[in-house]
Structure 1
């Protein structure tokens, strides 16, 4: 009976997630009563499954927050910025103090042949098809901060709800350039040309994790968080290009 109830809860979570954000990515493994349901930022979609088994829903942090606000059942919320985690705390959506577990910074990527001749976050983007994240998403807020610090005005042709969509438009050739996290560029490998942006590493995004209030599987949630913040989880995050917590 407990197993059936857990499966129902996870199925409900994924269904609500899909309704709340059509672009959400879901990775589901065999679900048991002691397995956590994890709502995590899209930039964690490659590394988190390497750290621990769970039922995952990946999306932009703001989209995940909206789903939690709407009552979607989950055990763990992992945000790619402090702002969305702070909102979760203020709304009583998470239980206990969130823990910072990683950092990440933006880079500029182009298709591997760089057909538009982009040289960086500079005037070569003026007539190019630039794609960035939407301002409410952590990577979008970071993009605007970085551009302001450099005195550059960004004129994107589209703003995406998650960083993986920005990367997808670049690798498919739909965009001439995109601002993504360094870890996403590493994942793309030879499919993109990567350019560091001055000042980006000095203003990284910070990643935070917390147990969701009234989590269906509180013990599994705590175990998952302990794994991510522990030695083994930190080693996997480091291998994937994430920086340490500050």
Structure 2
């Protein structure tokens, strides 16, 4: 073999060995780089597979009944193994129950004043946040046979009008609206929550009631709504909070997150609530 041939052969062998080394190094590098990716994916998979479970007990203002019931079902569908139970009623009554030791995870009130009953007793886990607002409307009998067109019309004699109790947010709001228009109204009854006031009209036990727009909308053709300008002076903020002694805090936080999410706001806005 000539010197030139031997040199060529050595060059090819060296090149082949180098290529083999590069392939081995590449394979090793590929294997090493895939490990963190695999670990990261496994970690992400583990995080996403941490399922929420158990029952979430939500104490909520009566006016939230329809929208929260819808959100509760959506939450249960999104998180199999969870259940959302509700206690709807007058915010003041619910707040008193919570401070009295009633087990609950979430409190959604119809006014900052009633929420303060809970926060003043250090029963909230954090600072409540406003998630919606609500405005008053007059609910009359279907067809509005008494031709009610203003808040002042409710003061006419012979008209049976129902209001929420003044300790309840809808009652306090109605009183602010009456004060703003310098009107005095003596109702045939004061009700403990807005749904009870609305029911009086639905059952034709009253001619009209001052309730929320959301309740008029939820009632459908059972009542007729009449807007009045003074309601702008009595818009209620609705705060929500995780409770300090929540039995199922993690799942409760997830429900609150749904309420505050774009999807939750969509449901609430469709029900007639105003954005915060």
The TM-score normalised by the length of structure 2 is: 0.75
Runs of 4+ in 1 over 6 A off after TM superposition: none
Greater radius of gyration (CA): 2
Which has a greater percent of helix? 2
Give the length in aligned residue pairs. Answer: 214
The residue that corresponds to 2:63 in the other structure is 43
Q: Does the 8 A contact of 1:40 with 1:64 survive in 2?
A: yes
1:94-135 superposed Cα distances (whole Å, 9 cap, x missing partner)? 110101000000001110133434332114532211100000
Q: Does the 8 A contact of 1:100 with 1:206 survive in 2?
A: yes
1:188-230 superposed Cα distances (whole Å, 9 cap, x missing partner)? 1222121111131353111010011110000011001100001
1:168-199 superposed Cα distances (whole Å, 9 cap, x missing partner)? 00111000110010000011122212111113
Which residue among 74, 78, 102 is the counterpart of 1:72? Answer: 102
Distance apart, 1:48 and its partner CA:
0.3
Q: Does the 8 A contact of 1:111 with 1:191 survive in 2?
A: yes
Which residue among 93, 108, 115 is the counterpart of 1:63? Answer: 93
The TM-score normalised by the length of structure 1 is: 0.84
Which residue among 242, 249, 273 is the counterpart of 1:211? Answer: 242
Structure 2 gaps of 5+ residues are 1-51, 74-83
The residue that corresponds to 2:155 in the other structure is 125
After superposition, the Cα gap between the structure-2 partners of 1:92 and 1:200, relative to the gap in structure 1 and judged at 3 Å, is same
Q: Does the 8 A contact of 1:126 with 1:155 survive in 2?
A: no
The residue that corresponds to 1:102 in the other structure is 132
In structure 1, distance between residues paired with 2:218 and 2:271 = 8
In structure 2, distance between residues paired with 1:60 and 1:51 = 20
Name which of structure 1's ranges 196-205 and 74-83 shifts more when overlaid on structure 2.
196-205
Q: Does the 8 A contact of 2:195 with 2:215 survive in 1?
A: yes
Distance apart, 1:50 and its partner CA:
0.8
Which residue among 95, 112, 116 is the counterpart of 1:82? Answer: 112
Alignment of 1:93-172 (within 5 A): 93-127=123-157, 128-172=159-203
Aligned to 2:138, what secondary structure does the other structure show?
strand
Q: Does the 8 A contact of 2:144 with 2:224 survive in 1?
A: yes
In structure 2, distance between residues paired with 1:199 and 1:111 = 21
1:187 aligns with 2:218: yes
Aligned to 1:96, what secondary structure does the other structure show?
coil
In structure 2, distance between residues paired with 1:101 and 1:192 = 27
In structure 2, distance between residues paired with 1:38 and 1:151 = 38
RMSD across aligned C-alpha pairs, in angstroms? 1.4
Aligned to 1:36, what secondary structure does the other structure show?
strand
